[in-house]
Amino acid sequence: MNVPGYRDVPTEPWDPAAPADPGEAEDFLRQCYTENPRLGPVEPRLAIVRAQIAATGTYVHTTEELAYGAKLAWRNASRCIGRLYWRSLVVLDRRRARTADEIFSLLVNHLQTAGAGQIRPVISVFAAAQPGQPFARVWNEQLIRYAGYRGSDGCPVGDGRLEEFTAAMRGFGWRGKNDQFDVLPLAIETPSEGVRLYELPERAIREVPLTHPEYGWFAELGLRWHAVPAISNMRLTIGGVHYPLAPFNGWYLGTEIGARNLADTDRYDMLPVVADRMGLDTSRESTLWRDRALVELNRAVLHSFELAGVKMSDHHTESQRFLKHIANEEKAGRRVPADWTWIVPPMSGGITPVFHRYYDEADLRPAFYLDEEASERARGGCPVRRTH
């Protein structure tokens, strides 16, 4: 499952004071009811929705509309390679939750539901934004992320890209362990309570220790990664209604961990370490030591998740499945928006079948959009008023 990072995902201007667009509402409802004939005729429903928008500036999705709209948003996600499974999304309707305690409890439930047994794709949809009214949100980019610090020697410890967010959390009273894999607290904001911090319990955090199928020394590196990649700072838009808090997860594509999270120089930067333990010649780039270390790091990730019984896909298999998704959609007469730069995996791209073709880029709705304000908070500006 191709999980986006907060700096590189689609954004869309949004005026929280604006009412729902009746035209967008009608487009979604006609699509929803056409693709789900069991829901009955759409015209009576359209009449109700038009009346609700005229009276309140917005309308309320039925449980069925919400569930299908969330699945369509995944189907439309141009930067996700794992869309073959869009119908399997588990949609949890959490629109009644209001307090930070309620939201936190349901987020823990989300992680447990998604991470139990084989990883399941899950989305928890909280209350919709009302025109001109404040709304609940989570400032974290993912429900589980590791902290980033600077050691006494100035060297990075943990996830380097999360240093500013970590410093902000510590400034508001959170005390981490200065560990390489220190899970950050959740910063949950509600209109009535401001922002409160919550420590995730161990039962919500499923982690996989990383070992290598051949190199015994790999375990000595002490690497691990969490099993559920749950994006939490993207807004779900369905038929003109916006859901600012709608965390969702799939399962990891191996390269997301092995070729990005652990390999990027501003993250864990493990390639020089692995190359050194392998005894590779790192004196010049032409020895391709980075490439060789990258392959073994990714082998370790895939091996470890398989050994732990945690669902994960490799980039070759998922590339083939994406082409199957395209074939399914074309057979159904639907376009498949795709961003080549995201669909092609970050290693061995040229030998995967998704590399050798062009794709349509389109902003189809329902959709997920980056919450730019939450993104800014994730870079270190979160105004926490209370610590829990």
Distance CA 384, CA 379 (A): 14
Backbone angles phi, psi at 252, to 5 degrees: -75, 145
Q: Spell 126-146 as b/e; 16+ CB within 10 A means b.
A: bbbbbeeeebbbbbbbbbbbb
φ/ψ region of 238 (left if φ > 0, alpha if ψ in -120 to 50, else beta) reads: beta
83 flagged as catalytic? yes
Distance CA 126, CA 94 (A): 5
Place of tokens 């490439």: 291
For 206, residues 6+ apart whose C-beta sits below 8 A from its C-beta are 111, 115, 226, 227, 228, 310
Backbone angles phi, psi at 91, to 5 degrees: -105, 115
Place of tokens 């590339």: 319
Q: Spell 360-375 as b/e; 16+ CB within 10 A means b.
A: eeeebbbbbbbbeebb
From 80, 120, 163, 206, the catalytic residue: 80
Q: Are 77 and 368 in contact (CB under 8 A)?
A: yes
Q: List alpha helices for the chain, DSSP H.
A: 22-35, 43-56, 63-75, 100-115, 163-171, 254-255, 271-278, 289-308, 315-331, 340-343, 372-376
From 74, 86, 225, 251, the catalytic residue: 251
Tokens of 361: 């880029």
Closest CA to 67 of 251, 248, 208: 248
From 65, 163, 189, 256, the catalytic residue: 256
From 75, 83, 145, 267, the catalytic residue: 83
Q: Classify residue 377 by its DSSP letter.
A: I
382 flagged as catalytic? no
Task: Give catalytic residues, as residue numbers.
Answer: 80, 83, 251, 256
